[in-house]
Structure 1
């Protein structure tokens, strides 16, 4: 690269997008300078080689093939290191194996792989990993005349035979194997080039991808690299090709399939001089279609072990696009060994310059790739298959079927199992049943082996999994090709059953469907559900059991519907996508299906009638019996404390002087687990660390189940709450917008009845008030444009989903409770709740964050004509608190911002300003892009909400929005009256939170080691806690008290407090010992005991240096406890009279000190140590 820079510094050679498909051209000079800058950064993290005699240092590289990835390859090479190019698609076990086998002790990763790196590090504890340098750290103006050499200490002649890259096999026959490529072999491989301006969609961790890029660089032909942050879609490929004048395209057959789907894509390909594919065979039909339309399609064949070998480059008029031909230079180094009649394995002989591996005694390399010879063209070969049974899917992924086949074959019901799918989008499996299946249907046979298939699916990549609908059952006794040892002959099997395999990929016709009675439908649904839900006790599934109460999830509803579509004859009718959600019990679903079959109009009651039935069922209450018990203060019961609003509400109530206790019922099996769930929730929302010890002690965690009459509590606890409670705030609700109304009955609607009953059992002069957090979805279909602060005139005004309908049912139940008993039952109808104003925390799994995350996955956000009325979650919590503590009477209040903003004119520009880059597109185009984007929800999370987004935006209907009367709510809540419209500060915070904490697109280097400081005043028990943590986790413990200078110890022994200048030396000594500990021991964290009472003290310890971050566990206790404990010590330099001094200088954690985790030590020693161990586990 440096040589190219010297010869043609200003020649543009490499292009990569700044956003979406807006490419930036980079010169040789820039690339070399960028690599130099990044190399200097990595030199601070990875030891340098002092001479060529030093052993090579292997550095793993894991991430998408973006500009930072490529520059990192160059930078590590500049430093003389060997780069292990790791695929992003292999398993964790494969990563561990490759890092271990190659001796790599360092790993550079894209932020999106931080979780994987941490998991790998649990096995390879010596492994150090850092983030790949972000683009902003190197992509800026280049100074002329910069000397970019960093390898002056290395001998070029010796380095030529050192390993440049380690590329690995696909792992198709087991774990991937590393393949070592020297600088000499790589350069020999890169000399061959077609000398054309190119566009590449291949990843750089594949041999074909990295070779194509370096061939372009050596030949001086400009290459454009596909944007690695975008899904591979027709739109983006075509968009790029239309903007630039390319001569050659490099891709896998999947990319050709995308382009071949439209004449526009084919027309784009015909403009190119060459369209080259590799990685897997191109399906004959697709390739022929492209060639017939004038595309110069060339197959590239090579291996990681041998470099590029052959292509189907051919003279004009030769249409044999799928037959590769060796060059005259290569021909002497090839040997064709016949394995089956007319089928030959390719072997590459020793002496071929690019060959880096041998696997035969004569030094040759047997590729295990099989070819057939062209009947007329000399020395032309067509790829046939792999010898090792690997199945190569259409997208080039390689799946090894042997483990799955072997597991299924072991089942008593199976005589043979053969996985198929070569050249297809997904795998299928043919099974030949054994004689043991006599009398069983095909579905019953598949049911019997499904647990085995599920287990096999759990240990293979996603693309190698089998779905139930792709398992095909052949007749028992079917003859199939076998060897004399009885094993299946795979290729012959595929040929014999080609018709059945092809049919497996077509739509299953209705001729296979069953015509069943209603009773038979019930039996069929039950039989389908038991294995689907993996029920250990099938008797728990009654005909009226709600499926979702049994734990059914969305994926299982999809599978059940697919089973019904495939197997049940419904008289030509179509099953709705949500039929399982709408009829979530065996009785309801069977009746709905039978009505479709018979053509009888459904006798089911309407949704509105069902809502009326539920209101009547749960809307009857016994009167309150007044009592004289009326202790001072407010006693609150808050549900939903593990949710965002609930956590903020509990924190704010705890800070209120008038509130004495806050009971928090949560689903848990013990008090400890309930407490841990609440603490975890509050810490995640960063509202726990600022609470004083007195405030935290108000929070009472209760393991409970509100669907039960006494909330699942012990009688004594229930009675105590009835004595105390002055108000209940009900925030908890099941948030699943797919569920039907009846699925909300047991846990939600029945729970409301039980909570109101508890209010009425209050032993006070008046019942406790009930404050229900409803939703604007309960009135989203209101007619007239303005929603009043009252019950709607029609039940049909609820949005058309069970969630909204159940909320409106509850609003009516609240009204009935007031009417019958006089209880103050307030309905707080909450609008869109967004991130908090302090930290910008907003659950990234919600719809709006998902929509904005599409900016990072598909590069686009929709332009919407909407005017949201958002309220930050901490503001909503304040509103609910104010109203619940007020004298407001029963009724409905709309907790909605009275000010709005415009999505496209206000919010989108604010997102751009906050640093989020994306293209603004129309809403239907956005849906189309999302629909055609990567279907993997791990890579592309917004795809999970495609149906939801499409139902809202895949139409041309004008957007309408409701207004809300908020006069009453604003009267009782100053926070709502003063609520402001969206501001840039909030947008900055929420975008930063998503990008850094959720989407992992920040380039900031994350520390890899952690110092956990057990802090607190003398007598808090720091040493006891630290010793327990050290012993439990097997990590070093550094006792800060032992590191004081003799002068400081003498000073304290005299009863004098240390000054800040005394402590400065102490802090520096602690930091020095921490760094020494990490340097000498390969541990993820160390424990340090140090009082760290003041902000300034903690700030000093936050910057230990190197790659260390600090977390403080602040032990807290009352003055009396501290005095008692210190007074009981013997021979300690810390005296009782110094306790007050420490209390006086103690500074509570500030809002920004989210790394301080306070712990109350005035509990049993067992509880304290258990809580701390749990806490350390969650942060380390």
Structure 2
């Protein structure tokens, strides 16, 4: 959406009021509605007495007493309710509830704490709406509960909102069983009309009615339990004033089909208050049938109240469209007679949207949310604008709601503290500001101020090669490509390509092959890296469902919990080069060259004659997606081989040649190439460092340290934060964190791991933006300069945890970022550079049995042959040259296997050893044996303490120091198993690794949720060759770090702490 006018935004992106307000020559009545209660851009109503919803009801009863307010279905007709009658009914309703909740209200007045009363119902009746306003007249805080909530969700909301009473619809009262609340049923209109008016009842007395809490509208809980969103009289009054204002027409009768506990339903019903125009209620039977709705429309038209606007969920529009089609109304005249048709809550199918707009039906929408209100709308709103989802801000003069650039042409809608339509999003001074919606938009056309929703940030899949796929349009395209497909969810973050889970519908019976071919055809409209390959598709058996929200959107996280293991297995098959379905593989009678040509032609969608022996695969569009599709086909003939071969030998002739060699010979050739790349990279980076200018000011001695930390969100990063913020010699800790809501996410992670709340709340702790690939670290120029002049020490702890990628795949992010941080150390003031390396840099084929705390030699064979280890080897070598060239201080902390916290017990359950332990104890009742392994695991908090100690007490006369951070007290694997039995308080079988993996393989085929299945391929590799663990010397560092020196070996007591924590977290039950 349009970036609102601020100093750092371009003038040509600013939107004038003329693009939002009615034209100068517009109908006088339309213009009067726009200004009746003041400028819609202002933060108050013109009349100072209009400070709450009840005050607006009373105003209408006085000013428009005989005008129709609501049209309420009754048998085959509608009751006309005037504003005067509505005011009387809500007064009677207030008196009814004042008596029922007299104790709660009197207690609240005595304590000056506003009471919360919950309202539970379907939310579609006039009685429900009368109750809403009746309770608002009492000044209570109204918690609107959906009748579709699970008991646990409902009870959660009642608890966190501190509800003291509850109002329930009659039909739900029989099933209500919670006795701790004062419970009242919604009175019928006949009961209210028969009651006597009272002017003596008491409500809650507020000193600031305008900012008083009015309604709590909860989220759908798409990622867990629903979240309460608190709206005030202020926010609801301002939403009401704007919601029914359109540029080119007046909505005389708005037909509501949203429940009144939903933000859309609340906005619709409130919109009738400032305009004093009628709103129609839907049929009494909910959800309404299409026939009943159309019959109601005909009746309303005969009464002189034709429906001007239908605002409803897309499913209602789809049902109406299908019903009209079956009834033979090919003109879809009921839709055409509407001034505006508004889908809301979810996106309308692009196919149906196009059909409707092609017929001249005026389809428009509003963008907003429960949290921020409805600040964007389709503009212009006339019929000739067919772009329903190109929306513009309704508040062009308000800099507190804006579209913030996110790069690559995307914008995120953000709202700053003080935006008057927003809910109470900033309850404390340190609440994240701005509030981030996580909704991403594309400006279309660029510079127009019109924005198209692309999906949630969660919907943007970031592949391991850096490419990005927008899951939302891809899912919609797949859903529409075949009648047999009902729901789709696409995954692919941190993987080179997309994958999909398909839920089948009850219609459109078809073969899986037919469905897969339709998906393949639908995906051709998307970039190659976004296309879902047949081999990466899981089709659920009929009867198995994807979890969805009340809006019908797939719950992505819940879907992954249910079916993620199946997707991970597909990726594992790709990573391991498992052969693909033979049906998709070229004929076996072809010779090797022609076999490879046909495979390449197939996966690149190229004519076979184009794929010559010498043509570069890059000319055919080689990318990670193409490579992962090609490898399984070639594996049928050549067996498994590394994916990197496709990139290293990118032509038919070269790839055939390398695949035809024995695998060991090919691997040797590949290793030589990797080693040459490593040496070349070290030389390039060293040359670049030598060209840098010297910093203006050398390191300032004696001042308190200011730390800049990367990798703050991981286990070691969290432990470092806990250490550093409590270190009195450190004045500030800047944490570079990627993504939105960094402070909030960091606090959640610290809390989840059990750290004291004061750690996350520390004034020392400051989160800043971070981008590994950006030369100024994801900061703006001003921030970069400010930090460069203030920071004294860099602690570089961020690294890509990918053990499958080759070393060159680490250059664009990890390696470049390390060089950028070294450059940052030389900007303005000299800074100490601390790097958390890995013992894997000294665990390769040339590694010594004993590894001293000295700089690493220039031999790539010292490191394990994984991109992770080799990339850290490069940094160890480059920092040696950096220290020699600049004389600046460098500390290398070579970190070994970390285990959990010594007091909190938190140990990431996604790591290899926790997965092995949980699988062995919970599922196999057996643990593998290793003859050559020693256990030198170091608790994460002791590792963090060591780094903190080394930072605080650097060796002043040495510019380059290296420290091995492993447990100096080691035990054998057999002793570890003894300790594990002691901690587990039960014996288990001890078997060799080959047998353990075989049992895991067998169990994984029968049971879905075995954690070890995720690492089955990794465990299989451990079977092939057990290597002795080098001994890492720690004497030099232990002399400097008391906690490391005194660290005890992993024992039964510590392991019991971890096991108890895993049980509490549900990982080991």
TM-score, L = length of structure 1:
0.40
Q: TM-score, normalised by structure 2?
A: 0.44
